[in-house]
A and B are shown apart, each in its own frame.
Chain A
Amino acid sequence: MATESLRRTGLLIRHNALLRLRDPGQMISYIVMPMLLMVVFKPLYMKSLDTGTLQAVTGPLVMFSVFALAIVGNSIMVEREWRTWDRLRASRAARAELLLGKTVPALVILVLQQTVLLCFGCLVIGMAVPVDAGLLLLAIAIWGVTLLSLGAALATLVRSRGDLGMVTDLGAMLVSAIGGALVPVSLMPQWARDIAPCSPGYWAMSMLHAAIADDAGAMLRPALVCLAIALAGGAVATYRLARGWGRSHLL
């Protein structure tokens, strides 16, 4: 049974990866645009901060990884548009298999996006090469899971792709601005500093900075906060998906 389950999960992962690969526009956009921003903003950050290159790389990375929520959300929304979710639910695949099949390719995309941007940051922008690649990969994975859960929850709560686009665009700007991805928290006015921890972006920035600095201790708290957000988002998405979200009328 376990083998059959693994086989079905593999089929679903391959199928969802295929769907993403046949519609790569958003993914390319969310990788290329932050690269451009890194190049443009680098001189500004270098003049105003001691950690200029770090901010120049992690700021756009966090901002555009939040934009990438739209990729996750769209991958779920299309199932409703195409009326295919019920078709999958009516198949032999279990709920967990369907969710894994849907989320694994999206997580890979999110991790890939951040990895490419960090590599670009080190090679082109001049950010210091992280001491512990494993720790950084862990941070990227945790932030990826957080985004994945938030994107999945959003997709099951909004009514249309238009709504999803609005929420992810506004959300990305808000999360980035408040979280210190655009302007470092230390340069923000006091009121903005006070509310910064309300943004997942704040914790993502803290976690990435700690991971790049090879400070596992400093990484623990933001990682736990991100995982808690992921848990909450995942619970909402799982509940909605399992309870018949996206039901199309079979008859």
Chain B
Amino acid sequence: MTISPTAAAGARRATQAPPEPERDHVPDAFGPAVLEVRGLHKRYGDVRALDGFELTVRAGEIVGLVGHNGAGKTTFVEVVSGLIRQDSGTATVSGREPARARELIGISPQHIALYPPVTVREHLRLFGGLSGLRKARLGEEVGELAAALRLTEFLDRPVGVLSGGQQRRAQAAVALIHRPKLLLLDEPTAGADPETRQALLDTVRQRASEGAAVVYTTHYLTELTELQATIAVARRGRVIARGTSAELLEGLPGEVRVSFDDDSHVRVSTTDPTAALARLLAEATRPVSNVDVRNPDLDDLYRALAVTDGD
């Protein structure tokens, strides 16, 4: 498949975020803003890790944050979780500085960050306890979360003996145990088996439906469709595109492929697959054996934005 740089640039222009645009792209169904990030700048020596990063995530909204390595996702999350301070700009969680709103935030890092000799239940008790949950409520949350993430039978096993998928679920459970208002999930399904993936997606959807704001980074872009997430594309320290998948995909070319009996085929990249298909069929001089129409997806968007940005 080919993506015309011109069409991609058009798509980018159509979705590129002006100074405070993303609110316009967010459906009104969501609640008040939980995370508000405005003009974040952060430098490490000569490297501009954040260069005017803007993002608003509202209660109940799942935002898929996508971007290549070095796009600024790490630094963004470190600022939002209160681990580092930005050079300029503001980040607030429910109106408070991140460092003063830690009980409102749940983080699931990309790499497993758990204590191998400690059991899943002990992890949940520790981090739930640190967030202020008391015994009875903590017990309820542990049981409910373990059931949702299919961890019940592993609760009393040390994390170090669990499989990769089970550790992924335990990691997510630690982030979710205190029912945070803001969830920061970094590639929570990376390398996960289908059971883990489904359990995590179901749980994230459930928490969002209960009002949590979710920032979900992934390279599996189909997950964002499954989560019905709005999407923010980060590049070089800023969000360069923001909106629903329909908005972002508008104007991107899909693909029509017509195969013939003699094993030959014609493939066309187009923004109007229906018209292209009609034209191809009308012009066909040989018997057609198969027709395949593929609409643009998030992978196309990802590549198109990268192309226009010079990758």
Interface positions of A (Cβ within 8 A of B) = 4, 7-8, 11-12, 15, 18-19, 22-23, 82-84, 86-87, 89-93, 244, 247-251
Cβ < 8 Å to A, chain B residues 124-149 = 126-127, 129-132
Q: Please, could you name 26 A-B residue pairs with CB atoms under 8 Å apart, sorted by A? A: A8-B129, A11-B126, A11-B130, A15-B122, A19-B115, A19-B117, A19-B118, A83-B112, A84-B113, A86-B113, A89-B82, A91-B130, A91-B131, A92-B102, A244-B84, A247-B78, A248-B109, A249-B74, A250-B74, A250-B77, A250-B81, A250-B83, A250-B109, A250-B110, A250-B186, A251-B78
Interface positions of B (Cβ within 8 A of A) = 73-74, 76-78, 81-84, 102-103, 105, 107, 109-118, 122, 126-127, 129-132, 174, 184, 186, 217
Q: Is the pair B73, A82 in contact by a Cβ cutoff of 8 Å?
A: no
User: Knowing that A250-B74, A251-B76 are A-B contacts, what are 4 other residue pairs whose CB atoms are under 8 Å apart, sorted by A's residue number?
Assistant: A83-B111, A86-B113, A250-B77, A251-B77
CB-CB under 8 A from B74, the residues of chain A are 249-251
CB distance from A46 to the nearest CB of B (A): 43
Among A82, A90, A249, A251, the residue within 8 A (CB) of B115 is A82
CB-CB under 8 A from A247, the residues of chain B are 78, 83
CB-CB under 8 A from A84, the residues of chain B are 113-115
**CA–CA, A8 and B117, complex, Å:** 21
**CB nearest neighbor in A for B171:** A87
Q: Quick one: given A19-B115, A92-B132, A251-B77, are A86 and B126 in contact (CB under 8 Å)?
A: no
CB-CB under 8 A from B129, the residues of chain A are 7-8, 11
Q: Is the pair A90, B82 in contact by a Cβ cutoff of 8 Å?
A: yes
**CA–CA, A23 and B82, complex, Å:** 32
Residue of A84, A87, A251 contacting most chain B CB atoms (<10 Å): A251
Q: Is the pair A90, B105 in contact by a Cβ cutoff of 8 Å?
A: yes
**CA–CA, A248 and B113, complex, Å:** 9
**CB nearest neighbor in B for A98:** B130
CB distance from B304 to the nearest CB of A (A): 23
**CA–CA, A84 and B114, complex, Å:** 6
**CB nearest neighbor in A for B78:** A250
Q: Is the pair B115, A8 in contact by a Cβ cutoff of 8 Å?
A: no
CB-CB under 8 A from A19, the residues of chain B are 115, 117-118
Q: Is the pair A91, B186 in contact by a Cβ cutoff of 8 Å?
A: no
Q: Quick one: given A15-B126, A82-B115, A250-B109, are A89 and B83 in contact (CB under 8 Å)?
A: yes
Residue of A83, A89, A91, A93 contacting most chain B CB atoms (<10 Å): A91
CB distance from A246 to the nearest CB of B (A): 11
**CA–CA, A89 and B127, complex, Å:** 11
CB-CB under 8 A from A7, the residues of chain B are 129
Residue of B118, B129, B184 contacting most chain A CB atoms (<10 Å): B129
CB distance from B105 to the nearest CB of A (A): 7
**CA–CA, A7 and B82, complex, Å:** 22
CB-CB under 8 A from B116, the residues of chain A are 82
Q: Is the pair B114, A244 in contact by a Cβ cutoff of 8 Å?
A: no
Q: Is the pair A18, B122 in contact by a Cβ cutoff of 8 Å?
A: yes
CB-CB under 8 A from B76, the residues of chain A are 251
**CA–CA, A251 and B71, complex, Å:** 11
Q: Is the pair B111, A248 in contact by a Cβ cutoff of 8 Å?
A: yes
CB distance from B264 to the nearest CB of A (A): 46
Residue of B105, B116, B132 contacting most chain A CB atoms (<10 Å): B116
Among B103, B107, B131, the residue within 8 A (CB) of A250 is B107
Q: Is the pair A251, B109 in contact by a Cβ cutoff of 8 Å?
A: yes
CB-CB under 8 A from B217, the residues of chain A are 251
**CB nearest neighbor in A for B127:** A91
Q: Is the pair B103, A92 in contact by a Cβ cutoff of 8 Å?
A: yes
Q: Quick one: given A11-B126, A251-B77, are A18 and B82 in contact (CB under 8 Å)?
A: no
**CB nearest neighbor in A for B116:** A82
CB distance from A81 to the nearest CB of B (A): 9
CB-CB under 8 A from A250, the residues of chain B are 74, 77-78, 81, 83, 107, 109-110, 184, 186
**CB nearest neighbor in A for B159:** A82
**CA–CA, A91 and B130, complex, Å:** 7
**CB nearest neighbor in B for A87:** B113
CB distance from A173 to the nearest CB of B (A): 30
